[in-house]
């Protein structure tokens, strides 16, 4: 498609994953949250986000990050579609060399950015704990965030995935005709590796006339050992294994469907 001037379309990918864990005691649940909080601290999340920026061919202009108490982390990257010379960048930008001194707090709002937030969660009356990662990749110009999906899914333990993709604004073709979408898409699934798709049950809810695409993914098979924290599956009697598997599956179905199952 030959365009007149700059591509004004804004393409936003919102990506949510849930990781599920079974922890028998309150102490184990707290230990799980502490473990997850350390595994996915702002330092590691920054590395993942920088890799995503490289994947879409974007230049990192600025990074701000924060670890929270008692748990959770956030990272924000301001990105540009094209490389920018260091002397041409705004002096407030750190060009990916983020500050380690806590006295600096940087914030940026722009139409091209990557953000990530984490939400570890547990409840004293529930043996199943969850960890949610919320990633948003928003770009303008010709680059699209859809190419980052495989990397995002493989960067986390993704039991349930909710993906939203929307395109906003319009750009003009060479002879002045408005274009509200500059690439073909009928489903987000088209941009996910078939080997990944085989592992999940999926549901699409798309509003084509509004350029809104929504996909939910639920892991098909549960290997119980992968969901036990500090417990070997063979320490548990067969009946207990079955009960735990049922609890985990119930939690997954509730998150996937967005409603409680009684």
Cis geometry, peptide bond prior to residue 70 (ω within 30 degrees of 0): yes
Q: How far apart, in Å, are the Cα atoms of 141 and each of 33, 162, 192, 213, 254?
A: 39, 25, 22, 19, 38
Distance CA 12, CA 172 (A): 19
> Strand ranges (DSSP E) for the chain?
10-22, 59-67, 73-80, 113-123, 126-140, 160-168, 171-172, 178-179, 200-207, 212-219
Secondary structure percentages of the chain, helix, strand, coil, to 5: 30, 35, 35
Among 189, 65, 73, which Cα is nearest to 131's? 73
Among 182, 174, 153, 152, which Cα is nearest to 10's? 182
Name the catalytic one among 113, 117, 129, 158: 117
Judge whether 112 counts as a catalytic residue: yes
Distance CA 69, CA 37 (A): 10
Name the catalytic one among 42, 64, 140, 158: 140
Residue 152 host element (H or E)? helix 149-155
Name the catalytic one among 112, 129, 138, 155: 112
CA geometry: angle 187, 146, 36, nearest 5 deg:
110
Q: How far apart, in Å, are the Cα atoms of 237 and each of 122, 175, 195, 247?
A: 25, 71, 33, 16
Q: Which residues belong to the active site?
A: 112, 117, 140
């Amino acid at each position: 498609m030959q365009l007149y001037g700059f591509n004004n379309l804004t393409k936003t990918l919102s990506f949510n994953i849930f990781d599920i864990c079974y922890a028998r005691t309150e102490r184990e649940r707290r230990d799980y949250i502490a473990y997850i909080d350390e595994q996915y601290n702002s330092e590691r999340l920054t590395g993942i986000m920088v890799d995503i920026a490289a994947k879409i061919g974007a230049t990192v202009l600025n990074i701000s990050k924060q670890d929270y108490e008692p748990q959770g982390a956030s990272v924000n990257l301001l990105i540009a579609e094209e490389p920018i010379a260091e002397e041409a960048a705004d002096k407030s930008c750190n060009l990916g060399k983020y500050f380690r001194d806590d006295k600096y707090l940087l914030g940026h709002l722009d139409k091209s950015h990557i953000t990530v937030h984490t939400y570890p969660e547990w409840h004293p009356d529930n043996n199943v704990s969850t960890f949610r990662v919320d990633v948003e990749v928003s770009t303008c110009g010709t680059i699209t965030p859809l190419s980052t999906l495989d990397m995002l899914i493989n960067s986390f333990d993704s039991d349930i995935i909710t993906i939203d993709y929307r395109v906003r604004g319009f750009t003009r073709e060479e002879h002045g005709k408005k274009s509200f979408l500059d690439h073909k898409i009928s489903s987000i699934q088209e941009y996910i590796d078939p080997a990944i798709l085989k592992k999940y049950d999926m549901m699409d809810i798309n509003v084509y006339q509004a350029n809104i695409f929504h996909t939910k993914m639920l892991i098909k098979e549960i290997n119980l050992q992968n969901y036990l924290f500090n417990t070997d599956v063979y320490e548990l009697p067969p009946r207990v294994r079955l009960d735990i598997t049922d609890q985990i599956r119930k939690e997954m179905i509730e998150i996937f469907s967005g409603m409680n199952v009684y």
